[in-house]
Structures are given as C-alpha cells and as structure tokens.
C-alpha cells in the first residue's frame, strides 16, 4: 500500500487534480497559489486556505501573536502572488481543552494584526477540540481585477527573472514575522509587464520549478546575483533551498527590466528587487557561476511529506 510519504506532495496534488476535475468558471484551481473563480459580472474571486501545525510550522518558542501573524501572513502571501486584494478571512483553530484563554486571545490578536494591516477582516471561523498538536487553518477570500491577475503560467523564453527581498535562513526568525508582499505585487502589476508570478514558500529552486513547469519553460539563474539574507550565512544552497521567505518571484520581458528596477527603487527604497536570471525555452533550471559555468539545479526544497534528503 502506497503511503503519503512515498507519494510526496507533488504526487498527491497530481492525484487530486485527476480526482477533482476543474469546472466551468474556475480560472485556476488545484496546484495554483489560490483558486480563482468567476463570481459573476466580470469579478474574480481568489480563494485560499493555509494551515500551520505545532511542531511543523512553529515550535514552543513562538509567541501566540507570532503564530497568529504567521498563519494569516502565509495565506496573504498567496493572495499577493496573484496580485489580489485580501478581503475576508475565516479562521479554524484546533485546540486542546487545556489551552489558556489568554493564549487564544494572543493568537487571534496576531491573526487580526496581519489581516488588518493588509485590509482584510476576520469574519468567522470556528474552534474545534483537537487532541494532539495545535493547528490553525486560515481561509482567505480576496478579489482581483481580471487585467491584474497573474498566474504561474505566463512566463516566456527570454523573460527576466526577479525576486524581492533576500533569501535563505528564514527559520532563524523571519518565518514568524515576514511581510506578505501584497502592496508590492499590486504595484508591480500596475507598473511593469509582469508575466508570471509566485511567492517563495518552498524555496527559490522549488518555486521557480513550479513556475517553469506551469509555463512550460526552463530557466538559468545567475548564482552571484541571488540576494542572500544575513541568516543564510553566505551559503548559496540555503538561499536556493530554504523555504518560507515569502518573497515574490516573477518574470517580465527582458526589455522592461531596466525601467522596472529604477521605478522600484523610487517606490520601495527599503526593499531590494534583484534580477536573478532569465527564462529559457526548456531544459530545466540551470545555475550559472561567475566563470560562466552552469550546472543543473536539483529542486531539493521542502516537501511536506518527504524527509529533506530522501
């Protein structure tokens, strides 16, 4: 009997995609950052759920406020990846009966702080008795104008690849306090010809892999260009593989790159935007070094159901 561990996350998504065919009015579904559905009269609704589990996504050192912030910000980041505006959130909490009331209040304050900062509101949800590890599931609905929607699948050969912020070592703290790039994504689709976009949750290598597969293209990354976070400690592999940076990864036509970079510096002086490579016709993802040597990149990023080095 095949188990989830053997199937892996991507294998499972493939199975579910076959089991649950996409219907009419569904613009994007299983396997995308958010589901995108036509809600009538030209409106697009973005729907996303994201869960965090004690011992998997956070440990006992995290404060209740941080846990709440992270749970909401993860879902917000997926709305950002599609350039949407987050609107309404529902929160489900699986709690042990001996959880302190003030812990719960702290978690909901963290959830509400993250939602409120980006214009979303918690409108419902429920709490359920759950023996075992504590978990939070956030369901978030957002809206996007059809002309602003961006998917993973729009990249074309020749596009420049960009990433916001810096990467790697998020586990040292950023994963509990990151800023979902809602405002940046909305600015981007209004000021640059963004063709494909995704947020980096599984790590640069893996999420670029998702984007390339969805767009049926390949990519070449420039190793010296990849912006590393201080906690990555100068280790390129960590900037490539570490998850939970929640930065935006996107492509534009190469000709638009220069103008975009200077407009970005005006709009977001405190957040880096870096051109890290180019989309290619195919052939997977290659990593080029200073000397012009390239090697094939393996997607060793995070899989929820497989040991890290299986």
Identify the CA nearest to 169 among candidates 247, 233, 263, 250: 233
- Does 141 engage in binding with its own copies (CB under 8 A)? yes
CA distances from 194 to 84, 155, 187, 255 (A): 14, 9, 11, 12
Q: Which stretch binds its own copies (CB under 8 A): 127-135, 162-170, 227-235, 266-274?
A: 127-135
Place of tokens 């290598």: 205
Please say whether the beta carbons of 205 and 99 come within 8 A: no
- Does 26 engage in binding with its own copies (CB under 8 A)? yes
Burial of 251-280, coded b for 16+ CB within 10 Å and e otherwise, reads bbbeebbeebeebbeeebeebebbbbbbbb
- Does 62 engage in binding with its own copies (CB under 8 A)? no
- Does 48 engage in binding with its own copies (CB under 8 A)? yes
- Does 265 engage in binding with its own copies (CB under 8 A)? no
Query: Nearer to its own copies by C-beta: 135 or 250?
Result: 135
Rounded Cα–Cα distance for residues 307 and 150 (Å): 32
Q: Cβ of residue 170: shortest distance to its own copies, in angstroms? A: 18
Query: Nearer to its own copies by C-beta: 137 or 252?
Result: 137
Q: Which stretch binds its own copies (CB under 8 A): 138-146, 180-188, 209-217, 228-236?
A: 138-146
Residue 11: exposure state from Cβ atoms within 10 A (0-12, 13-18, ≥19): middle
**3-class SS of residue 128:** strand
Segment 220 to 259, residues that bind its own copies, using CB under 8 A: none
Q: Which stretch binds its own copies (CB under 8 A): 104-112, 181-189, 226-234, 240-248?
A: 104-112
- Does 113 engage in binding with its own copies (CB under 8 A)? no
Choosing from 66, 77, 137, 274, the residue that interacts with its own copies (CB under 8 A) is 137
As given in the structure block, the two tokens for residue 154 are 């729009």
Number of residues that bind its own copies (CB under 8 A): 75
């Amino acid at each position: 009997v095949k188990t989830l561990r053997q199937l892996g996350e991507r294998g499972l998504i493939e199975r579910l995609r076959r089991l649950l065919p996409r219907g009419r009015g569904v613009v994007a579904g299983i396997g995308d950052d958010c589901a995108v559905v036509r809600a009538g009269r030209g409106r697009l609704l973005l729907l996303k759920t994201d869960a965090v589990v004690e011992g998997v996504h956070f440990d006992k050192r995290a404060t209740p406020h941080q846990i709440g912030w992270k749970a909401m910000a993860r879902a917000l980041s997926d709305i950002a990846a599609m350039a949407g505006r987050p609107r309404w959130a529902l929160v489900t909490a699986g709690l042990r009966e001996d959880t302190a009331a003030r812990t719960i209040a702290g978690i909901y304050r963290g959830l509400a702080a993250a939602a409120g900062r980006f214009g979303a509101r918690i409108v419902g949800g429920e709490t359920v008795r759950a023996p075992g590890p504590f978990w939070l599931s956030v369901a978030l609905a957002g809206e996007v104008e059809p002309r602003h929607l961006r998917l993973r699948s729009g990249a074309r050969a020749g596009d420049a690849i960009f990433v916001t912020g810096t990467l790697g070592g998020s586990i040292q703290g950023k994963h509990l306090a990151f800023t979902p790039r809602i405002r940046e994504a909305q600015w981007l689709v209004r000021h640059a010809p963004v063709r494909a976009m995704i947020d980096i949750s599984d790590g640069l290598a893996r999420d670029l892999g998702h984007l390339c597969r969805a767009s049926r293209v390949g990519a070449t990354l420039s190793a010296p260009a990849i912006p590393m976070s201080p906690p990555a400690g100068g280790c390129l592999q960590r900037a490539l593989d570490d998850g939970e940076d929640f930065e935006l990864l996107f492509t534009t036509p190469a000709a638009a790159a220069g103008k975009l970079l200077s407009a970005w510096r005006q709009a977001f002086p405190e957040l880096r935007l870096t051109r890290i490579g180019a989309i290619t016709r195919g052939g997977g993802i290659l990593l080029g070094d200073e000397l012009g040597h390239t090697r094939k990149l393996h997607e060793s990023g995070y899989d929820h159901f497989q040991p890290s080095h299986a």
